[in-house]
Amino acid sequence: MVVVSALLAYNPIMSISPDIRLTALPGIPIIVPGTDLVATIIAALEQAGLVLQARDVLVVTSKIVSKSEGRFVRLADVQPGDEALRHAEIVGKDPRMVELVLRESQEVSREGVNTLIVRHKLGFVSANAGIDQSNLDGGDEQVLLLPVDPDASARAISEGLKARTGVEVGVVISDSHGRPFRMGNVGVAIGSAGIPALRDLRGQPDLFGRILKYTQQGFADMIASAAGLVSGEGAEGRPVVLVRGLQFSEAAGRASDLVRPVHQDLFR
């Protein structure tokens, strides 16, 4: 545990309850296009003295998945169109960045100073289509897009780990999203494999026997957010978290199960 000025600055291991333990894996190198993430994760587990167990879940940041998949774009190679120029004038962003946001989006939902809120091609609503420049060794002229198919990426990692270790584990691809009515980012799942992403609790009794009528649990989102407590978002360099002790019985789903249908979106 690292304590600075009496504040908890960073703890790579956290026990949320006697049954659930989160461990940020050490030794993850800088990821480049073509990096074998499965081999990288196995090496980090070995360095930590950990052996995978059934029902373990690995939370992997979208950033290292995107890096391994070569989702880099040089802004110098982007030619903004008329629509991008129009939005850039309104929000005050680099027109080349706006062009990329529009390319990665289905539609613009809201726009404000330095921010475009869009419906991503993957279906979810986020700021700037999840395009990021943090933790990139390429200066201000390089950006990183989200994975093309995060659910497929999660499935590939899960299947790769099973093939090499013999253990079937869940995988969550996480990203940081803001929320319309609250400050601060939280981790969400944009890719998922081997776990139920959305748990339907309707029909179950509450503490006093009242039947739940509307409750659905964003299980994969909750896992992603918990992992963010130990992985960090800055210079910690801990983009993979092992979550152990979760209990679930439902069939595995996909993170796309969490996307609210357009006709139910009251903030569109």
Confidence tier at 199 by pLDDT (50, 70, 90) = confident
pLDDT in tens, 200-239: 777 777 777 788 777 777 899 999 999 999 987 766 678 9
Examine the domain organization and report whether 96 and 213 are in the same domain.
no
Report the range of poorest mean pLDDT among 8-17, 92-101, 147-156, 159-168: 8-17
The boundaries of the domain holding residue 255 are 2-71+146-264
Domain count across the chain: 2
Helix, strand, coil share (%) of the chain residues, nearest 5: 30, 30, 40
Question: Phi/psi class of residue 245: alpha, beta or left (left: φ > 0; alpha: ψ in -120 to 50)?
Answer: left
Question: 142, 170, 186 — which closes off a domain?
Answer: 142
Judge whether 255 and 155 are in contact, CB under 8 Å.
no
Q: Does 15 score more than 70 pLDDT? A: no
8: part of which helix (H) or strand (E)?
A: strand 7-10
Mean per-residue pLDDT over the chain, rounded = 86
Q: Please report the pLDDT score of residue 2 as a whole number.
A: 26
Examine the domain organization and report whether 210 and 84 are in the same domain.
no
What are residue 18's phi and psi, to 5 degrees?
Answer: -60, -15
Examine the domain organization and report whether 102 and 176 are in the same domain.
no
pLDDT in tens, 170-188: 999 999 988 888 888 889 9
Examine the domain organization and report whether 46 and 178 are in the same domain.
yes
Q: Please report the pLDDT score of residue 257 as a whole number.
A: 84
Examine the domain organization and report whether 193 and 88 are in the same domain.
no
User: Could you give the CA distance from residue 28 to residue 34 in angstroms, rounded to a whole number?
Assistant: 15
Q: Does 141 score more than 60 pLDDT? A: yes
Averaged over 29-55, what is the pLDDT?
95
Q: Does 266 score more than 80 pLDDT? A: no
Supply the pTM of this predicted model: 0.87
**Crossing angle for the helix pair 82-91 and 95-103, to the nearest 10 degrees:** 120
Question: 142, 165, 191 — which closes off a domain?
Answer: 142
Q: Please report the pLDDT score of residue 4 as a whole number.
A: 23
CATH number (domain holding residue 215):
3.30.1330.100
CATH number (domain holding residue 86):
3.90.1660.10
Examine the domain organization and report whether 13 and 125 are in the same domain.
no
Q: Please report the pLDDT score of residue 50 as a whole number.
A: 94
Q: Does 88 score more than 90 pLDDT? A: yes
User: Could you give the CA distance from residue 126 to residue 132 in angstroms, rounded to a whole number?
Assistant: 12
Confidence tier at 13 by pLDDT (50, 70, 90) = low
Examine the domain organization and report whether 259 and 198 are in the same domain.
yes
Examine the domain organization and report whether 131 and 152 are in the same domain.
no
Question: 142, 166, 195 — which closes off a domain?
Answer: 142
Which pair of structure tokens corresponds to residue 127? 């700021």
Q: Please report the pLDDT score of residue 137 as a whole number.
A: 76
Examine the domain organization and report whether 153 and 129 are in the same domain.
no
Compare 180 and 63 and report the one with higher pLDDT.
Answer: 63
Tally the residues of the chain.
268
- The vertex-97 CA angle with 105 and 119, nearest 5°, equals 20
Examine the domain organization and report whether 163 and 203 are in the same domain.
yes
Examine the domain organization and report whether 138 and 151 are in the same domain.
no
Query: Maximum CA pair distance of the chain?
Result: 61
Examine the domain organization and report whether 168 and 124 are in the same domain.
no
Q: What is the CA radius of gyration of the chain?
A: 19
Averaged over 116-143, what is the pLDDT?
86
C-alpha distances (whole Å) from 90 to each of 34, 53, 181, 193 are: 38, 51, 22, 39
